[in-house]
Amino acid sequence: MTSLPPIALFDMKAQQALIRTELDQRLAAVLDGGRFINGPEVAELEQKLAAFSGCAHGVGVSSGTDALQIAMMGEGIGRGDAVFLPAFTYTATAEVPLVLGATPIFVDVDPVSFNIDIADLKRRIALVEAEGRLRPAAVVGVDLFGLPADWPAIEAICAEKGMFALDDAAQAYGASLGNKRLGRWGHATALSFYPTKTLGCYGDGGALLTDDADRAELWRSLRTHGEGKTRYEVERTGMNGRLDTIQAAILLAKLPLLEGELAARTKVAAAYHAGLAGKVQVPEMVPGHAWGLYSILLADAGQRARVQDACKAAGVPTSIYYPKSLHRQPAYAAAHAGAIAAGAPGLPVAEMLCERILSLPMHPYLTEAEVARVVAAVVGAV
Ligand SMILES: *Cc1c(COP(=O)(O)O)cnc(C)c1O
């Protein structure tokens, strides 16, 4: 077993080999054109990203984190505002409201979808309203591991309360819910092109999607230091949040593969499901899932450690997303403790998932034999 080559958790080499010629041509065009900032590739990519999602506007930005930040800056979110977000997600989702002076309110997640728990969201909004110290300003729904959050419910809550609905789709570009791709749910959708995401560049990059022309225009200003109609007119406080032309060129070479890659990810997920269902808790095969990650639940932390060891011995990498709930992180614990003066309810599901979750190799170029090796390593250890 150990003599077999190791499997990749994510694989960017197989994909690169398929489009190496296009990549070289796209990069050469940027080098020849010399417009490294706001080159024509950026506008071309923005239009293609929006078209892929079926929405009106795409705005390229420097990372997924900056996409979240620009979206919140556009709504004027800051001191005195409460931003509701799942406790079980990547740190960037919580960091942005804090950087802007707002208060993150951590919400528990659903034990099956791992996404924000709607009943707990409503409960925490009611607690913040009852205290009256903070204004419920926004809900950030995260489509964790590629599975869309419950957007109809989040949209309904935000419409009722006059809150901003922001989709952190950093792990889920290409996913759809109902007959709509992400990008059309909520008021704004933030994407990350970090290399291991479903659409990744070769560095940092991100984008915002919306159907709202005014928001798109505002974001273009915010990503360029708040500039107005003319270059040296500063209309508002902004930031340097642009997407590099080189990264846009790389994404343009990769985008034509995405549809096929999403289908290939679904095939890998289905093969995992067939091999692992009934032995460990597997994610549901939900149509429209982008399968950015494939994460299983083990019985407890001890069994998870045994499975990780067995996988490692078999040349199968695994990873834990996430080992610590955000409300327990040193950087956020004080904000969490102070957010609701009367004391916030616990976050038992987020804490349970941190003990038991494990992500298996997931990328579109996994072979049937590789998936079988992963399944055998996991099954042999439970
Ligand atoms: C990756 C990620 C981000 C941040 O994206 P960057 O491009 O790395 O800044 C934000 N939210 C979630 C859920 C992510 O997975």
Helix (H), strand (E), coil (C) string for 225-273:
CCECCCCCCECCCCCECCCEHHHHHHHHHHHHHHHHHHHHHHHHHHHHH
Q: Which atom of ligand 1 is nearest to the CA of 65?
A: 9
- For residue 3, pLDDT over 80 is answered with no
Calpha distance 225→276 (Å, rounded): 50
Distance 285 CA to ligand 1 centre (A): 24
Contact 153, 181 (CB under 8 A): no
Would you give the DSSP letter of residue 208?
E
**Coil/strand/helix, residue 133:** coil
Distance 372 CA to ligand 1 centre (A): 30
pLDDT of residue 1: 47
- For residue 267, pLDDT over 90 is answered with yes
pLDDT digits (tens, 9 = 90+) for 348-362: 999 999 999 999 999
79 burial via Cβ count (<10 Å: 0-12, 13-18, 19+): exposed
Q: Which atom of ligand 1 is nearest to the CA of 67?
A: 9
User: For ligand 1, is residue 243 a contact (CB within 6 Å)?
Assistant: no
pLDDT digits (tens, 9 = 90+) for 89-112: 999 999 999 999 999 999 999 999
Q: What is the mean pLDDT of residues 220-241?
A: 94
Q: What is the mean pLDDT of residues 117-146?
A: 98
Nearest of 151, 139, 136, 140 to residue 90 by alpha carbon? 140
**Domains located in the chain, CATH noted:** 13-255 (3.40.640.10), 257-381 (3.90.1150.10)
pLDDT of residue 167: 98
pLDDT of residue 80: 97
Calpha distance 228→236 (Å, rounded): 8
Q: In which region does residue 209 sit, left (phi positive, over 0), alpha (psi from -120 to 50) or beta (all else)?
A: beta
User: For ligand 1, is residue 63 a contact (CB within 6 Å)?
Assistant: yes
Output the CA angle 233-239-241, nearest 5 degrees.
115
Q: What is the mean pLDDT of residues 242-270?
A: 98
User: For ligand 1, is residue 172 a contact (CB within 6 Å)?
Assistant: no
Q: Kindly report the average pLDDT of the chain as a whole number.
A: 96
User: For ligand 1, is residue 90 a contact (CB within 6 Å)?
Assistant: yes
User: For ligand 1, is residue 65 a contact (CB within 6 Å)?
Assistant: yes
Q: Bridge-partner residues for 265, per DSSP?
A: none
User: For ligand 1, is residue 92 a contact (CB within 6 Å)?
Assistant: yes
Residues 6+ apart with CB under 8 A from 103: 81, 82, 83, 97, 134, 335, 338, 339
Contact 163, 157 (CB under 8 A): yes
User: For ligand 1, is residue 290 a contact (CB within 6 Å)?
Assistant: no
**For the chain, what percent of residues have pLDDT higher than 70?**
99
User: Residue 181 — pLDDT band, cuts 50, 70, 90?
Assistant: very high
- For residue 125, pLDDT over 50 is answered with yes
Task: Return the residue whose CA atom lies nearest to atom 2 of ligand 1.
Answer: 170
Calpha distance 70→164 (Å, rounded): 13
Calpha distance 210→69 (Å, rounded): 15
Instruction: Give strand ranges (E) for the chain.
Output: 57-61, 81-86, 103-107, 135-142, 164-168, 176-177, 180-181, 188-192, 206-210, 294-297, 357-360
Indicate yes or no: pTM above 0.95: yes
Around Cβ 252, how many Cβ atoms within 10 Å?
Answer: 19
User: For ligand 1, is residue 171 a contact (CB within 6 Å)?
Assistant: yes
Contact 102, 137 (CB under 8 A): yes
User: For ligand 1, is residue 321 a contact (CB within 6 Å)?
Assistant: no
Measured CA to CA in angstroms, residue 297 lies from 27, 321, 329 at distances of 42, 11, 22
Q: What is the mean pLDDT of residues 233-245?
A: 96
